[in-house]
Amino acid sequence: MSILDKVVAAVTPLESDEQRAEARAKARTAATDGDWLSLVLDHHHQIESLFAAVKAATDSSSRTRMQKRLALILTGHSIAEEAVIYPALVKANEEAHSTKAYTEQSAAKVQMGLLEDLDPMSQEYLDKLEHIRGAVAHHVYEEEGNWFVDLKTKLPPADQTKITFRYQEEFSRYTRDGEESEETYDAMPSVSDDRVSDGTLGAKSRN
């Protein structure tokens, strides 16, 4: 196991499914329709469904396709949090929570990048996928359990409105571009692609 794997494994969830469900129910109560917290909760749910879909895929091409969909939503969501929600935590005097959140999401991004280079039908792939899923589940529990619920009460209404607008703006900026370029994305070679190893892909793109 690499050091980065250990970083991810170190935050493997200790909380139970019941505790996670309780945290989400509490966060849902704190959220109002269409506000930043409701959007974040919707995206957390979507990310969980996509992790399950990647794992459930029965062939290489469908697993890779679901992995790309997961990466699109996970990265779009995390970038929106990093650009908008975590700075708001600092503004609300929750700097330690903000720093921890950035660190955990960076580790997940590294592992999602490395996942791209593994054979999607291998055990190594499934092990790494499960590490990432566990780390993301714990991170989500921390956000829903208290960080974000506290943020809802600590900043005034004007800040809440701005956070909602900016979170939507950042998330849609990333995911809209991703949807438009999905065909290009699917055509990207993997590291095992012959066109990469014999250099023809690079030669073609230079012509």
Which residues form the interface with Fe ion (CB under 5 A)?
A: 143
Opening angle at CA 21, ends 171 and 132, nearest 5: 55
Q: How far is the CB of 8 from Fe ion (least distance, A)?
A: 16
Q: How far is the CB of 18 from Fe ion (least distance, A)?
A: 20
Decide whether 102 or 185 has the Cβ nearer to Fe ion: 102
Decide whether 54 or 108 has the Cβ nearer to Fe ion: 108
- Which letter does DSSP use for residue 59 in this model? S
* SS3 at position 89: helix
Decide whether 64 or 154 has the Cβ nearer to Fe ion: 154
Q: How far is the CB of 131 from Fe ion (least distance, A)?
A: 18
- Which letter does DSSP use for residue 35 in this model? S
Which position has the token pair 């849609």? 172
Nearest residue relative to Fe ion (C-beta): 143
Decide whether 63 or 164 has the Cβ nearer to Fe ion: 164
Own/partner contacts of 64-68, CB < 8 Å, gap of 24 or more, are 64/120, 64/190, 65/186, 67/115, 67/116, 67/120, 68/185, 68/186
For residues 153 and 155, what is the distance between their CA atoms, to the nearest angstrom? Answer: 6
Compute CA 165 distance to the chain's CA centroid, rounded to the nearest angstrom: 20
Decide whether 94 or 143 has the Cβ nearer to Fe ion: 143
Closest CA to 186 of 20, 71, 17: 71
Q: How far is the CB of 162 from Fe ion (least distance, A)?
A: 18
Decide whether 143 or 170 has the Cβ nearer to Fe ion: 143
Q: How far is the CB of 171 from Fe ion (least distance, A)?
A: 11
Greatest C-alpha distance within the chain:
58
Closest CA to 81 of 47, 32, 54: 47
Q: How far is the CB of 35 from Fe ion (least distance, A)?
A: 15
